[in-house]
Chain A
Amino acid sequence: GAGVSQSPSNKVTEKGKDVELRCDPISGHTALYWYRQSLGQGLEFLIYFQGNSAPDKSGLPSDRFSAERTGGSVSTLTIQRTQQEDSAVYLCASSVRGTSTDTQYFGPGTRLTVL
């Protein structure tokens, strides 16, 4: 596709369940980011992947959060034992080389609601 795609667009889950969120970056983009947008915290960085380098996980809020990127393309963000405070819109972005001058292109997000 032409842009970053994310699935599902909406996810409702019960507290304590695990969820997986998927991101398909723009073809050929080597860098991939996950951000979270919530009412209380605004937009915040979660994790960054660049090629085969070790990811920057400094933004993950707890060890219940993890992410992987297979084959340098698709990424999955996993939240284990979801809590109500995990409710947010999870945004994925990709860029060509992952440098400071590259534009980050965002997907439409996955809205997660934890009941």
Chain B
Amino acid sequence: AQSVTQLDSQVPVFEEAPVELRCNYSSSVSVYLFWYVQYPNQGLQLLLKYLSGSTLVKGINGFEAEFNKSQTSFHLRKPSVHISDTAEYFCAVILRGDSSYKLIFGSGTRLLVRP
């Protein structure tokens, strides 16, 4: 069975500090990898995705993530966070070969940026 694990339910960090949100996946088949952000009372917005090629992926709002196949990880990083980055972040996968291309989500990590 496939699963996505986000070990940290909440990550508090001070403004302008770096942050890493962790994501690990388990799957018997290859996957495509995604990070979505959800601001309060809003839907999900795509931050970045890894489909193939370079393992370092850059996304919107200064975020980046690195795909590590040997560790089955796709951690999200930002070198300097802003108050406005406070939101819930979801890691997700799509299984290659899944004809419905549905997203399988992790449980989410709440990023709390403090002044």
A contact set with B: CB distance below 8 Å: 4, 31, 33, 35, 42-45, 48, 50, 56, 58-59, 91, 93, 95, 98-109
Contacts and interface: CB of A to CB of B under 8 A. Distances in A.
A95 B105 CA distance: 17
A100 B96 contact: yes
Interface in B82-109: 90, 92, 94, 96, 98-108
Interface core residue of B42, B49, B100, B108 (most chain A CB under 10 Å)? B100
A91 B96 CA distance: 23
B103 A103 contact: no
A99 B97 CA distance: 10
A44 to B, nearest CB: 7
B80 interface: no
Nearest to B95: A100
Contact of B103 (A4, A35, A101, A108): A35
Given A42-B108, A100-B32, A91 B100 contact: no
Interface residues of B, number: 25
A4 B51 contact: no
Contact of B51 (A43, A91, A101, A104): A101
Interface core residue of A48, A50, A104, A107 (most chain B CB under 10 Å)? A104
B43 interface: yes
Q: For chain B, what secondary structure do more than half of its interface residues adopt (helix, strand, loop), or is it mixed? A: loop
A108 B46 contact: no
Nearest to B6: A42
Given A42-B107, A42-B108, A43-B90, A100 B101 contact: yes
A52 to B, nearest CB: 15
Given A42-B107, A42-B108, A108-B41, A103 B102 contact: no
B101 A48 contact: yes
B103 A45 contact: yes
Given A48-B101, A59-B102, A106 B44 contact: yes
Contacts of B2: none
Contacts of B41: 108
Nearest to B97: A100
